[in-house]
Structure 1
């Protein structure tokens, strides 16, 4: 599925342009996305630098912290620059670092969206992602609630997080609200979501891979290290460049609390992998 990675933009929902290499805010919070990480001033500095470097897609969630990541986004970036897309998520309540509770009832989703708007200091969320489907609530009820939020002017585009290709197809078949994006775990070594990626390509849906760097597991991989040396790059940059080359709908949003790592990640967009590089990387698996 290699393509020309020179096109580094994507239209979310066919009308919202973003640079495909964005920034994720999970590392502005502590281990397990619980509590703060670093100071507010450090978080503000990283977020502002991301925008200075040309990032136009910032991905966050109400339960990172909880609340902390959204509050830090607002502290750093409000009033928001024209063209800056802020994506957030709802549908999961956190009560500890290990305790995630799916909460997809209509009244819960409405309250979560309103709370995110307050924290982000926005009247409308650019991209509001259902963090998990609630198995206790019919899919049609959850999607119907998101449709209501769109109709109320509180949400521009709707996305889904951690779904299967079958779930996405079912959501599309219901046709209650357009699905502009999905967000699943995906990287050069972890391609369990390849069928979902194929469906996204067919339908023009953005795919925001989480753990695009394998949560740090890719930094000392032999193949990535060797290709990185040939390009004067780092293994992390090669892993991000592979995503940008692999599919035109992939929009990775790597997160970091470090200015140096942020600059390294953003610079990955300039790496041009050869056909030989891509062939070698495409052949990798979690066992290689």
Structure 2
């Protein structure tokens, strides 16, 4: 893919105010976009408004979100096709996908780490996205029934063949990361993490030490943000939405953080992008951190 970076005024691309992070030799801005919500119910099939979904993807890029996260499991398959139709040839954009699982039905998913399945999945993701090489391929989950060396051995072969540029993991602990790094270079980890859900604090710390990007999935919680409560009692935050404050906290919490908030609504997308402009005071940051705590 073409990764030309352009310079524009931050008010035109507010997500650029989040700063940048490196994924191997790729540099992206630290506020990306997760495309999982651009599917049908149960992450199954096309969104109800396909044209609207394409418009949201294009608007995300216009707002400066140059890291787009997807997976073969989203749809399954239809999310990657949607991204191709909206954004190909990906000028200045990094598209990350995930593979290694099957979808029996809506809301259902099962990890499959068999080497032949991984190879087939990468080939079909390449075709759906319309590229010769995947920028970032993330193993969606480790399959406990298959030796990790076998699963990642297939991924390594595909990387050596020029079909994968960089490799990441999803929902893993430190021991998993260490085992994987004995086989391949790992540039990113994608775990469930947000202001209210901090079970993976120790993994985030490990990623900071090792210079690995940490991509929190579900950065806005359940989507209705009810788990976060309200922040209006914290001085200086009344003019911002709960989602904006939650994203600002993530960006300030760690330099390796790369949030990927997802939405199918244009005005929510706009709000999320402008979260990059929010700079929490030390007192605000500490009060939010103390309020959440590891969960």
> Compared with structure 1, are the counterparts of its residues 7 and 53 closer, same or farther at alpha carbon in structure 2 (3 Å cutoff)?
closer
Q: Render the CA deviation track for 1:112-169: whole Å, top value 9, x for unaligned.
A: 0010010000111100000011111111111111111110111100000111122112
Alpha-carbon separation, structure 2, partners of 1:287 and 1:217: 20
TM-superposed CA distance for 1:99, in Å, is 2.4
User: How much does 1:221 deviate?
Assistant: 3.8
Match of 1:107 among 94, 98, 116: 116
Aligned counterpart, 1:179: 186
Q: Which residue of 1 aligns with 2:291?
A: 284
1:258-269 to structure 2, matched below 5 A, reads: 258-269=265-276
CA distance in 2, matches of 1:43, 1:287: 34
Distance 2:82 2:111 in 1: 24
Q: Kindly indicate whether the alpha-carbon contact (under 8 Å) linking 1:60 and 1:86 is maintained by their aligned counterparts in 2.
A: yes
Matches within 5 A, 1:85-164: 85-164=94-173
Deviations 1:67-118 (A, max 9, x none): 111010000001211x210000000110111321211111000000010010
1:73 is matched with which residue: 71, 83, 95?
A: 83
Aligned to 1:8: 19
Which residues of structure 1 form unaligned runs of 5+? none
Contact in 1 for aligned 2:231/2:237 (Cα 8 Å):
no
Quote the Cα distance in structure 2 between the aligned partners of 1:7 and 1:240.
10
Aligned to 1:36: 46
CA 1:32–1:224 in structure 2 vs 1: closer, same or farther (change >3 Å)? farther
Alignment correspondent of 1:246: 253
**1:176-230: CA deviation from partner (whole Å, max 9, x where unpaired):** 2100101010001110001110110011101110110002253574453434863
Measured in 1, the distance between the counterparts of 2:231 and 2:147 equals 43
Aligned equivalents of 2:61, 2:95: Cα separation in 1? 11
User: TM-score scaled to structure 2, two decimals?
Assistant: 0.90
Matching of residue 233 in structure 1 with residue 237 in structure 2: no
Are the equivalent residues in 2 in contact too, given 1:87–1:127 (CA < 8 A)?
yes
* Deviation per residue, 1:222-267 (Å, 9 max, x gap): 4534348635210100000000000001100000111111111111
Counterpart in the other structure of 2:174: 165
CA contact (8 A) 1:212 1:240 kept: yes
SS at match of 1:250: coil
Note the C-alpha offset of 1:280.
0.6
Match of 2:30 among 10, 15, 20: 20
Structure 1 CA distance, aligned partners of 2:237 and 2:208? 30
TM-score, with length taken from structure 1: 0.92
Q: How many residues align?
A: 280
Please state how far the C-alpha of 1:48 moved relative to its aligned partner.
Answer: 0.5
Q: Which runs of 5+ in 2 are unaligned?
A: 1-15
DSSP-derived class of the 1:31 partner: coil
